[in-house]
Amino acid sequence: MQIYVDTANINHIRHCAELGFISGVTTNPSLLAKEDPSVDIRQRILEIYDLIGGHLSVEVNSTDTNGMIAEADEILSWFPNATIKIPMIPEGLSAVRKLSNKGIPTNVTLIFSANQAIAAANAGATYVSVFMGRLDDISFDSVGVLQDICEIWDVQDYESLIIAASVRNPLHIIESARAGADIATVPYNVIIQSLKHPLTDAGLNAFLKDYQKMTELKSSLNK
């Protein structure tokens, strides 16, 4: 399972690019607005693309099919490798079909059920983004929904890649991988949290102390 970072924060994306195991970035209008509501969106998206160089999903803000297609054309004029993020509404599915017919990659967002995922796959979505945290927020078992979708994908051989989105904690990453998601898009703080383990820190401290002892002993013997 690949890991993307779900953010529009330049410093966090820069750090993720250095980490070496993050292969893409997903953004949405809320993430862009959180950083700097006055930012020029084109400029920010291009800054992000320069840093990550891999997958970058950029969301449209229209709710009608033609508006979505026009926005997709504009985003693609900024950089041709863009994946166009489209909301899971009927007008969005029509846009996905039209973009898919032209070979343009799409990421259908705001998917909360297997029915929605099936519709998006049949419309030709390249990616289907299944939201976990927001389902958990309403006491609905997000892992169960993701497992259902992964199971259906195996049975039906759908080609759309499954993204676990709205990830809120490291356990969501493990559950997504276990279910069979292709990608988890994860907020920066959760990525960092997921790398930590107290035994790693304790073990490294012990190694460093022992190495220090050895170098001190060697230097005292050489005197």
- 85 an active-site residue? yes
Q: Counting contacts by CB under 6 A, is residue 59 touching ligand G3P?
A: no
Question: Residue 68 or residue 184: which is nearer to ligand G3P going by CB?
Answer: 184
Site string for ligand G3P, 22-41 (x = CB under 6 A): ----x-x--x----------
Of 143-151, 164-172, 192-200, 215-223, which segment contacts ligand G3P by CB under 6 A? Answer: 164-172
Question: Residue 107 or residue 147: which is nearer to ligand G3P going by CB?
Answer: 107
Residue 150 CA to residue 161 CA, distance in Å, equals: 10
Q: Counting contacts by CB under 6 A, is residue 105 touching ligand G3P?
A: no
Please give the distance of CA 88 from its chain centroid, rounded to a whole number. Answer: 17
Of 47-55, 100-108, 128-136, 194-202, which segment contacts ligand G3P by CB under 6 A? Answer: 128-136
Question: Residue 25 or residue 118: which is nearer to ligand G3P going by CB?
Answer: 25
Question: Residue 189 or residue 200: which is nearer to ligand G3P going by CB?
Answer: 189
Distance of closest approach, residue 174 Cβ to ligand G3P, in angstroms:
17
Element holding 33 (H helix, E strand)? helix 29-35
DSSP 8-state code for residue 139: T
Per-residue exposure over 209-222, b if at least 16 CB sit within 10 Å of its own CB, e if not: eeeeeeeeeeeeee
127: left (phi over 0), alpha (psi -120 to 50) or beta: beta
Q: Which residue(s) pair with 26 in the sheet?
A: 6, 57
Q: Counting contacts by CB under 6 A, is residue 134 touching ligand G3P?
A: yes
Residue 3 CA to residue 172 CA, distance in Å, equals: 12
Question: Residue 98 or residue 167: which is nearer to ligand G3P going by CB?
Answer: 167
Distance of closest approach, residue 73 Cβ to ligand G3P, in angstroms:
23
Interface positions, 72-91, toward ligand G3P (CB under 6 A)? none
Interface positions, 170-189, toward ligand G3P (CB under 6 A)? 185
Number of residues that bind ligand G3P (CB under 6 A): 12
Interface contacts to ligand G3P, rule CB under 6 A? 6, 26, 28, 31, 129, 131, 133-134, 165-166, 168, 185
Positions annotated as catalytic residues are: 85
